[in-house]
Amino acid sequence: MKWLALIFKNLRRSPRRSILTVLSVTVSLFIFCALASVPVVANQILADSASSLRIACHNKAGLAYGLPQAYKRAIAGTSHVVAVVPESWFGGVYHEVKDQFPNLAVDPEQIDVMWPDWGMSKEAVEQFKELRTACLVGPATMKRFNWHVGQQIMLRGTIYNFNLALNIVGMLGGKAPPSFLFFRRDYLEEAAGEPGFVDNYWVRVDQTSSVPKVIATLDERFANSSAETLSESEASFIGGFLENYRLFFQLAEVLGFIVVVTIGLVAANTAAMSIRERRAEIAVMRAIGFPSSAILSVIVAESVSMALVGGVFGCGAAYLTFKLFSVGTDAIGPLSNIHVSSAIVGETMLLAALLGTLSALIPAYAAARHNIVDALRLVA
Amino acid sequence: MADGYAVELEHVTRIYKRDEFEIRALDDVTVKVPEGHFVGIMGPSGSGKTTMLNLIAGIDHPTSGRVAVGGEEITGMKEAQLAGWRARHIGLIFQFYNLIPVLTAFENVELPLLLTALRKAERRSHVQAALNAVGLADRTNHYPRQLSGGQEQRVAIARAIVTDPTIVLADEPTGDLDAQSAEDILTLLTELNRRFNKTIVMVTHDARAERYVETIFRLDKGVLVGVESGRTPGLAAATHD
């Protein structure tokens, strides 16, 4: 037996209490880990799009207001622009209302030029360009509805009062938003009676330094028109979209913190009770020569061990939760890719160690410094 | 060891403060215990027996006076120093055994050795030797709850001697035992004293102990009121001023 064995033996002193303590820490760190993962994914999305060559151009009045499709030619003719893809939100559902996912109509000609980083196959893009009813689907949505390439599906309109029959010709690629579905805008236009409006334009420029110039040029060109534009970089556009979730992110962080602090207090109370029960035993150990520092270390190590086990279980539970239920989160669009990052695991484990240390430190310190003679009297 | 004394208490006074009251637990006590002796400290409850033992063990500090054990003065030592000193020089036996309930007999005896630099094999051999000495070699894997009171006290004695301390201090070691077990423990302590020449200081109420110890220090109300011979009449090896 050495120190680790002594710590382990002490943890088995009251198995029920140890298990309940570990479980309470597990629950709190699961909640922390899960809630902390949400803003991290949002930040990752923004980081990924920071160096993008894409510009989003939409109505200055807001995304709810469209832009004339006639703008496409003018945008394409702007200096430094290499591709333009108009986009319209269809907002259809598959079967039930709960079967939501982002489905968008785009012009097919330049999607491969616009999103070369998404990893779409050449064949799928070619098919998409050839077939008017074609659609490309993200891998998560394919998996969610058990779809396969070649299948015909029916999207029920919620904004538009018609349904669309679509043929899956391929997948959007591994780097695309996993829940997206793209279909052809000319098909939507036809079904909607040729309204001639799009929700926004995606514009690709030749190099990063061209982004601000093209933004300025576009907004200047359409100034004082009936549909003035507001152009912004992809990072800014996604950031604006994610801004809608900001309150949720902040709430998540605050809730995670509150839960951890609450469980920390419960753990501290449990540690204090446990140490109090062992005061005489601790006094005996000190009487036979154990220094206060060794006693303190053993007790804190016990508490940290339990908290770390709780941390591992908490992170594992969060990982499994996102893994198992990721399919059901597709309705939240870009955030559907929530996962537990290694940074969050590290942060959670650090928090677990801190929780274990702080919850035991004060009662352990008191026990390790308690008068030996007084503590020994507790036995008599 | 200076002067051949295992324990020297010189004009030791211990005063406790309880609220506004002062309790004089020991009052100007001077005692010397020669090496290798088995002595008893006897007296009624509240006479200061355990206080005296605690002072010798270095787990309490005198209000005034000097305490030296094994020729080393411990009166001015800091807590951290005292802990190390206790680990090397003191073996403690308590009335209620005070074994760690989650450790086996073997592990309880091994506990003080965790503070040494001994390797696992060496620790194992020391523990086996100590358990053999107390006659519990066949109970190594038993937990305290699986042992009788007498056996628990034997394990506690093994724990006290496993580091080969300078002095063994026993606080009412028979106080919680039946008559037969008490006799057995006293016999065991006597054997340890004789076979290994261990200095043993025992606090006890037990009148039977008089037959086993060499010298009896009698305390009353914190004052040393007499020194008597025990098992060897007429030989008061210990002294007092």
- Delimit the domains of chain B by residue range: 2-229
Cβ neighbours of B103 in A, within 8 Å:
1, 6, 9
Nearest chain A CA: its distance from B223 CA (Å): 20
SS3 A310: helix
Contact call for A1 and B159, based on CB within 8 A: no
| Whether the Cβ atoms of residue A53 and residue A209 lie closer than 8 Å to each other | no
Q: What is the dihedral of CA A290, A296, A298, A301, to 10 degrees?
A: -170
Task: Give B69's contacts in chain A (Cβ within 8 Å).
Answer: none
Q: Does A9 touch chain B (CB under 8 A)?
A: yes
Residue A336: pLDDT band with limits 50, 70, 90: low
- Length of chain B as a residue count: 241
Of all residues in chain A, the one with the smallest CA distance to B51 is A373
pLDDT (tens digit, 9 = 90+) per residue, B143-183? 999 999 889 999 999 999 999 898 999 998 888 788 888 88
Give the rounded distance of the alpha carbon of A152 from its chain centre. 31
Instruction: Report the pLDDT value the prediction gives residue B1, as an integer from 0 to 100.
Output: 45
pLDDT higher than 70, residue A335: no
Identify the CATH number of the domain defined by range B2-229: 3.40.50.300
Q: Is the pLDDT of residue A183 over 50?
A: yes
B170 touches chain A (CB under 8 A): no
Cα-Cα end-to-end distance for chain A: 29
Q: Is B110 on the interface with A (CB under 8 A)?
A: yes
Residue A211 binned pLDDT confidence (cut-offs 50, 70, 90) = very high
CB contact (8 A) between residue B88 and residue A1: no
- Asked if pLDDT for residue A23 goes beyond 70, the answer is yes
Structure tokens at A170: 């391929």
Which element (helix H / strand E) includes B137?
none
What is the model's pTM? 0.72
A160 half-sphere exposure, CB direction, 13 A CA radius:
23
pLDDT in tens, A270-299: 888 888 888 888 999 999 999 999 999 999
Q: Is the pLDDT of residue B26 over 90?
A: yes
Is A233's pLDDT higher than 70? yes
- For residue A14, report the phi and psi dihedrals to the nearest 5 degrees: -130, 85
pLDDT at A328: 46
pLDDT at B229: 81
Amino acid (1-letter code) at residue A197: F
Residues facing A29 on adjacent strands? none
